[in-house]
Structure 1
Amino acid sequence: MAFREFDTPQLSRRALFRSGAWLAAGTAAAGIPGASSLLAHDVGHAFPELAKLTSRYVREGKVANLIVALGRGQEDMAHTVGAGTLAFGSDAEVGLDTLYRIYSMTKPITGMATMMCIEDGHFGLDTPLAEILPAFADMQVLRTPDGALDDTVPAETQITIRHLLTHTAGLSYIIDAKGPLLGEFVKQGLVGGRVSRMPIPGLPQVTPAPSLEAFADRLAELPLVAQPGTEWIYSASLDLLGRVVEVASGMSYEDFLRTRIFEPCGMTSTYWAVPDSERARMTTNYGFLGTMPIPVDPGPSSVFLDEPAFPAGGGGLVSSPHDYDRFLRMLLGYGKLGTVQVMESDTVRTGVSNLLPAGVDTAGTWIAGQGFGAGGRSTNGQFGWGGAAGTLAAVDFNLNMRTGLYTQYMPPETYPIREEFIAALTADLQAVAAAAAA
């Protein structure tokens, strides 16, 4: 088997994990044969361990589908490894045009929309949030995260746009809030992602805030869980940035994304609500009863067929591997996709860089020892993030690669797919390196 020559650093499984390569997989994909082809095709033969992994998960009935999209530079189409069907028992095979709930992979899109507002001169990275949303001018901070809501101290500094982009604003999330604060998140409908039409054991039943404006106003009334700019705490900040974008730009958040990102990037299958005409492309999402996958959101009747109460910039989008690959390709082109300049080069370079405020404590978090940019992890030339239903996507600027992993089950920790993904890529990388050296 012939492979293109490329430089390969010595990588261990631990090094891959520590560098954040579980997001990107770009090192292995650098040897894709036929990468100049404009037609997408399965390249599992070039990645035998990755092909075994995806095949095994589908064959053993752990997931209905598992597909990896791999692209080099500005080639027009991604290549794939893996397969499966829209749901267990379905005959409809998945591919680049299949629709997946991408959940928190929405965050990098919102991050780049925010960077566009900076590019447009609406505000800067370190502009206080209160200059755009005055309700956030006098925030209080809980003495303890699970304490009484009136047991607070004043915020020592203003929340900034940088803080919101990097989860360092001191805000919390409905998935992580504790005690009385969790109760208020539920009561006020401060939830950005939808799961199912039916009640799910262990998940609180929440009536979402009726609008993005109401979401922001209600969030402003609650105390923070940490002083702004001091800790990395996964939060509702990217949902809040959707409101920041629409106030600063004078456009609804939906219209901003449509006209500034989706249409210029050719993302024709990215939705807040999947049109009825497209429901046949929608995957089924699964939860688990013990080890048995149970459909919690069947594709043909998905809750994502309904219009959401508000566009959740932290986790509300459905997209296809093809569409998200277009977004990644735009980032990899430093804002340019084909002949279209979607964002300025410097805007992208800033957005994918480490924007964490100096001195932020990341110990014990998902990004310990790493950086964070505009809505995604930023480390060693890679930028990207994952979603709550098993999706991952990133770009690797050093290797000129874009990569996405798509399946549909939650919570993603149910299976060690991410760890096994790393091991498979490591093995394939070693084989590629050996072939190149022969």
Structure 2
Amino acid sequence: MNRRLSQLESALDRRTLLSLGALAGLGTMMPGLLRAAEQPSIMPHVKAVVEKWVGPGKFPGLVASLGLPGREAQFVARGSEGFTDLDPVTPDSLFRVYSMTKPVTGMAAMQLIAEGKMALDQPLYEILPQFRHMQVQDTYDGSLTALHPAAQPITIRQLLTHTSGIGYSIIQKGPIAELMVEKGLVAGQVTRLPVPGLFRSQPVKGLDVFADRLAQIPLVYDPGTRWSYSMGLDLMGRVIEVVSGKPFDVYLQDTIFKPAGMNDTGFQVAPSDADRLTTNYGILKGIFVPIDEGAQSIYLDEPAFPFGGAGLVSSPRDYDRFLRVLAQFGEIDGKRVLAEEAVRLGTSNLLPPGVPGPSIMGPVSAFGAGGRVGLGDEAGVFGWAGAAGTVAMVDMIHGFRSQIFAQFMPPTALNLLPEFQAALKADVMALLQKA
């Protein structure tokens, strides 16, 4: 099995990982949606896609949801939590959401900004002094000796929007990628199995050590000059704990998870909840190979540190509550969780002036606090996706939100997510026609 699993790394290239972001921009809805909410079923096309993709030779189980303004989401869940775990998959099953952690970290940072405890354009070195004098590669992913001093300091805005110049071990190539791996600067955790090269090495222990080592790595471009997927949101975890005076995971619990009623979201799964954790699969030539089973998952262990870019486990019901907080500008169940200013600013375009956003399997988008911000016909759509097949988005103009939860890597190995996107658009259009 190890030989098969090691082959998965070649599929986890930069295009595979970056393409997930496009799936978070699913188009917008038009006025009149509230009237359509009375329909007994609001996502028949999504339901059909879920049912099509669950079964022998396909997925063991899937969960999708669509939520209308001010209402509980409607969920469709089919199948089981794994091929050998026959517990039915439900909206309360646990999934590795990977990079869907980034918008959560982003909004936590925006709350500190709204409270005046740090500023969007504040230099990072004022909080983490070791980042004051950064060196930059003369050529992106080039030599480690052809360097120049950064033209400007890294800012908080740049960390949030992947424009800081900080690299990413799952994106970079060549000697800088090798250096990041050597230093243990890797993107989260995947499996207990000895799979050489899947994410290349064991991470360093502790956010403080992570930040110190990352400061020793040259930047891959000058801060504020381009967009490139990065470890900026992982570093933001260290920024948050320094500014707030709390461990990063404790800050998230106190600031977002507990007040929002997100009881199943965290960086570690308790042994008592292992029976709800789904199995994660690697896809090798269309075959599902289990790489992290719930009962023996690596997520039962305490992580090396709370990965603000890729570390959370959550349930579809929990993550929908986070989306509701955003859609309702910081409130849920009549209680304020985040400042309205934090949500409005964090879900808007935060890119530095003159820097184009990513073009990821679709039109160029803007970028906010850890998530893609749609432009044009997708204006107002904020969201992101995870490396194991989870996607979540919220329409900040019309107040609806949607998700799909699967567990397979790489998530572009199968056509599930594009089919979900098309089905969601069809359901939205059908609602509008009935409105």
TM-score, reference length from structure 2: 0.89
1:166 maps to what in 2?
161
2:183 and 2:204 in contact (8 A); partners too:
yes
Structure 1 equivalent of residue 286 of structure 2: 291
Amino acid at match of 1:251: K
Contact between 2:125 and 2:132, CA under 8 Å: does it hold in 1?
yes
For 2:211, the equivalent position in structure 1 comes to 216
Residues of 2 paired with 1:367 and 1:357: CA distance? 21
Write out aligned runs for 1:267-416 (5 A): 267-362=262-357, 364-365=359-360, 369-379=364-374, 380-416=379-415
- C-alpha separation in 2, matches of 1:367 and 1:253: 34
In the alignment, structure 1 residue 68 sits paired with structure 2 residue 67:
no
Instruction: Name the SS of the counterpart of 1:141 in structure 2.
Output: strand
RMSD after superposition: 2.4
Which deviates further from its counterpart, 326-335 or 417-426?
417-426
Residue 53 of structure 1 aligns to a residue in which SS? helix
Report how far residue 430 of structure 1 moved: 4.1
- Show CA shifts across 1:93-139 (max 9, x none): 11111100000000001001101111222211000000000111111
CA distance in 2, matches of 1:28, 1:229: 35
Query: What is the correspondence of 1:113-132 to structure 2 with a 5 Å cutoff?
Result: 113-132=108-127
| Contact persistence 1:356–1:373 (CA under 8 A) | yes
**How far has the Cα of 1:219 moved from its partner?**
0.4
Matched ranges for 1:146-225 at <5 A:
146-200=141-195, 202-225=197-220
The alpha-carbon deviation at position 170 of structure 1 amounts to: 0.7
The 5-angstrom pairing of residues 55-94 of structure 1 reads 55-59=51-55, 61-75=57-71, 77-94=72-89
Give the equivalent residue in structure 1 for 2:91.
96
Shift of 1:292: 0.6
State the secondary structure of the residue aligned to 2:408: coil
The 2-side partners of 1:32 and 1:423 are apart by 22
SS of the aligned residue for 1:403 comes to strand
Q: Distance in 1 between matches of 2:126 and 2:280?
A: 40
* Percent of pairs with identical residues: 45
Letter in 1 for 2:70: Q
Which segments of 5 or more consecutive residues in structure 1 lack a partner in the other structure? 1-16, 38-42
The match for 1:423 is: 422
2-side partners of 1:143 and 1:415: how far apart?
A: 38
- In structure 2, do the counterparts of structure 1 residues 415 and 27 end up closer, same or farther at CA, with 3 Å as the change threshold? farther
Aligned partner letter, 2:282: G
**2: CA distance, partners of 1:315 / 1:20:** 18
The 3 A distance-change label for structure 1 pair 159 and 112 is same
Kindly state the Cα deviation for residue 202 of structure 1 after the two structures are TM-superposed: 4.6
Correspondence 1:253 to 2:248:
yes
CA distance in 1 between counterparts of 2:225 and 2:288 reads 40
Q: Is the 8 A contact 2:326 2:396 kept in 1?
A: no
User: Given that residues 167 and 233 in structure 1 are in contact (C-alpha distance below 8 angstroms), is that contact kept between their aligned partners in structure 2?
Assistant: yes
* Distance across 2 between alignment mates of 1:30 and 1:49: 20
Contact 1:23 1:393 (C-alpha < 8 Å) held by counterparts: no
- Name the CA distance, whole Å, in 2 between partners of 1:220 and 1:97: 39
CA distance in structure 1 between the partners assigned to 2:425 and 2:259 by the alignment: 35
Going from structure 1 to structure 2, the CA distance change for 1:368 and 1:140 (only over 3 Å counts) comes to farther
> Gaps (5+ residues) in structure 2?
1-18
Aligned pairs for 1:233-252 within 5 A: 233-252=228-247
CA deviations on 1:254-277 (whole Å, 9 max, x unpaired) are 110111111110111012110001
Which TM-score applies when normalising by structure 1? 0.88
Deviates more, 1:354-363 or 1:211-220: 354-363
User: Any idea what the Cα deviations from partners look like across 1:196-227, whole Å, max 9, x if unmatched?
Assistant: 00133652441211100000110000101111
**Residues 281 and 359 of structure 1: CA distance in aligned 2, closer, same or farther (over 3 Å):** same
- Displacement, 1:59? 2.7
Q: Deviations over 1:164-186 (max 9, x none)?
A: 00000011111011111111111
Instruction: Give 1:14's aligned residue.
Output: none
